[in-house]
Amino acid sequence: MAVKAGNKAPAFTLENQDGEKMKLSDFAGKWLVLYFYPKDNTSGCTTEAIDFTKALKKFDKMDAAVVGVSPDSVKSHQNFCHKHNLGITLLADPDKKALEKYGVWKEKSMYGKKYMGVERTTVLIDPDSRVREIWPKVKVAGHVDAVADKLAELRKG
């Protein structure tokens, strides 16, 4: 089941890179940039995480939290954050519960082989936990700026 703009965002409870449980309701009253990515320490995912980290001050000023979700473990997220000095929160979803709720765990294909994986997707959730914007099949270059621009536009109302 994929999420749709205007719908309530599906609830989740996942552990962050420090092993602390976090849930959607922890972000109530704030904007949430929830981005789903395939794998820690791969080139596109690393670039995306670094780009979001560099833009954190901009998102903070707009009262928005930035949270990445992948099927990697808490330990993998710890290493990823440490290695690249990331300032964003990363949530581990090894059971793929949130990935499936948000409709980003999909059949993919590379070199003719089919496999299940995360379709790089960003979901913008408003302070009332409603989905306001969805970016499916994200291309990393310029993506963070596009998200920040859309957030600024939506906040103006």
In the predicted model, what is the mean pLDDT of residues 98-105? 96
Directed axis angle between helix 143-156 and helix 43-54, to 10°? 40
Tell me how far apart the alpha carbons of residues 49 and 47 are, in angstroms, rounded to a whole number: 6
Maximum distance among all Cα pairs of the chain, rounded to whole angstroms:
45
Domain count, the chain: 1
Token pair of 120 as six digits: 């790089």
Domain that holds residue 132: 15-20+29-156
Which residue has 């965002």 as its token pair? 9
DSSP string across 3-48: --TTSBPPP-EEEETTS-EEEGGGGTTSEEEEEE-S-TTSHHHHHH
Instruction: Please give the share of the chain, as a percent, with pLDDT higher than 70.
Output: 99
In the predicted model, what is the mean pLDDT of residues 2-16? 94
In the predicted model, what is the mean pLDDT of residues 27-35? 97
Identify whether 10 is part of a domain: no
Identify whether 8 is part of a domain: no
In the residue annotation, 45 being an active-site residue is answered as yes
Q: Which of 9, 14, 45, 91 is catalytic?
A: 45
With 80 as the cut, is the pLDDT of residue 98 above it? Answer: yes
Residue type, 93: D
Identify whether 4 is part of a domain: no
20 or 109, which is more confident: 20
Rounded alpha-carbon distances, angstroms, from residue 126 to 82, 112, 150: 29, 39, 12
Identify whether 3 is part of a domain: no
Identify whether 98 is part of a domain: yes
Identify whether 9 is part of a domain: no
Q: What is the pLDDT of residues 117-139, one digit of tens each?
A: 999 999 999 999 999 999 999 99
What pLDDT is attached to residue 1? 55
Which strands sit side by side in the sheet containing 89-92, from one edge to the other? 21-23, 13-16, 89-92, 64-70, 31-36, 121-125, 131-135
With 90 as the cut, is the pLDDT of residue 110 above it? Answer: no
Identify whether 150 is part of a domain: yes
Identify whether 142 is part of a domain: yes
Q: What is the CATH number of the domain that holds 139?
A: 3.40.30.10
With 70 as the cut, is the pLDDT of residue 90 above it? Answer: yes
Tell me how far apart the alpha carbons of residues 87 and 94 are, in angstroms, rounded to a whole number: 21
In the predicted model, what is the mean pLDDT of residues 73-101? 97
Token pair of 95 as six digits: 């059971």
